[in-house]
């Protein structure tokens, strides 16, 4: 795992854009006109996504997937999908990217939207959508993910049952529980994320220093470190 540190936001964003350009160039070198990206939620990457959306890009059909989602009301600004929609509104790409947002759990007379059954159905829908598009072992061209202060990525938290090696590779999306609100989450699993050709972790702030060090040295307690292999880089903005 390579760690690159930046003190300037502009240089940090530029490095992330280089990752995107590299994925585009790789796809074109393979003779492809399509690209699949997996994106992190939260507030950290929005400035990067806005810069990506402003880049000229023609002749490349881009699918944007979300690594995880917070189970909140559809109109809640904390929803990762809301941030993605906002960041890519008015995107300069031709054609416009296809946004694959997580379905919203729906209540019925017999099922609570926060029940394991309801959340399991939503995860199943997203898993089916992903596998029908990219196959049972999806390969994202690029995954832009985050790292939490505890070393989590997506909604894969330390000691989560989802990290068990026994988890079947066919489970691409799953309900998850977070140690902080909102507690109910939906997330892609390690098998869904680990096949990405390139993973760039976007990290911001000195408060993540210990987590970055932990992931960089491959600490197995940090879920982000479990996404190993070639093509893994941590882009760390330390100046803010």
Tokens 């210990």 map to which residue?
A: 210
Domains annotated on the chain, with CATH: 2-237 (3.40.50.1360)
CA angle 156, 141, 212 (to 5 degrees): 40
Torsion sign (Cα): 121, 114, 162, 228: positive
The helix/strand count (H/E) of the chain reads as: 6, 10
The predicted pLDDT at position 85 comes to 96
Tens-level pLDDT at each residue, the chain (240 residues)? 899 999 999 999 999 999 999 999 999 999 999 999 999 999 999 999 999 999 999 999 999 999 999 999 888 888 999 999 999 999 999 999 999 999 987 655 456 777 888 899 999 999 999 999 999 899 999 999 999 999 999 999 999 999 986 566 778 999 999 999 999 999 999 999 999 999 999 999 888 999 999 999 999 899 999 997 778 999 999 875
CB 51 within 8 A of CB 92: no
pTM: 0.94
pLDDT attached to residue 12: 97
Q: Give the per-residue pLDDT at 109.
A: 45
| Integer Cα distance of 100 and 68 in angstroms | 11
Starting at the edge strand that comes first in sequence, how are the strands of the sheet with 34-39 ordered? Answer: 2-6, 232-237, 199-204, 142-145, 34-39, 61-66, 98-100
Of residues 120, 45, 117, the one with CA closest to residue 88:
45
């Amino acid at each position: 795992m390579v760690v690159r540190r930046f003190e300037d936001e502009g240089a940090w964003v530029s490095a992330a854009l280089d990752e995107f350009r590299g994925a585009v160039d790789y796809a074109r070198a393979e003779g492809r006109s399509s690209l699949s990206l997996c994106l992190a939620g939260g507030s950290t990457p929005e400035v990067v996504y806005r810069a990506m959306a402003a880049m000229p890009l023609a002749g490349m059909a881009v699918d944007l997937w979300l690594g995880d989602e917070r189970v909140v009301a559809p109109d809640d600004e904390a929803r990762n999908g809301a941030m993605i929609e906002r960041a890519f509104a008015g995107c300069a790409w031709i054609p416009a990217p296809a946004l694959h947002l997580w379905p919203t759990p729906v209540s019925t007379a017999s099922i609570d939207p926060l029940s394991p059954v309801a959340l399991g159905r939503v995860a199943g829908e997203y898993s089916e959508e992903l596998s029908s598009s990219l196959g049972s072992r999806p390969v994202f061209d690029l995954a832009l993910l985050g790292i939490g202060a505890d070393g989590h990525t997506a909604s894969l938290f330390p000691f989560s049952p989802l990290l068990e090696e026994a988890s079947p590779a066919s489970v691409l999306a799953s309900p998850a529980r977070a140690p902080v609100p909102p507690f109910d989450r939906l997330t892609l699993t390690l098998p869904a994320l680990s096949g990405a050709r390139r993973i760039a972790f976007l990290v911001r702030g000195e408060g993540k220093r210990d987590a970055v060090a932990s992931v960089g040295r491959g600490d197995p307690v940090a879920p982000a470190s479990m996404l190993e292999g070639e093509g893994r880089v941590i882009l760390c903005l330390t100046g803010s």
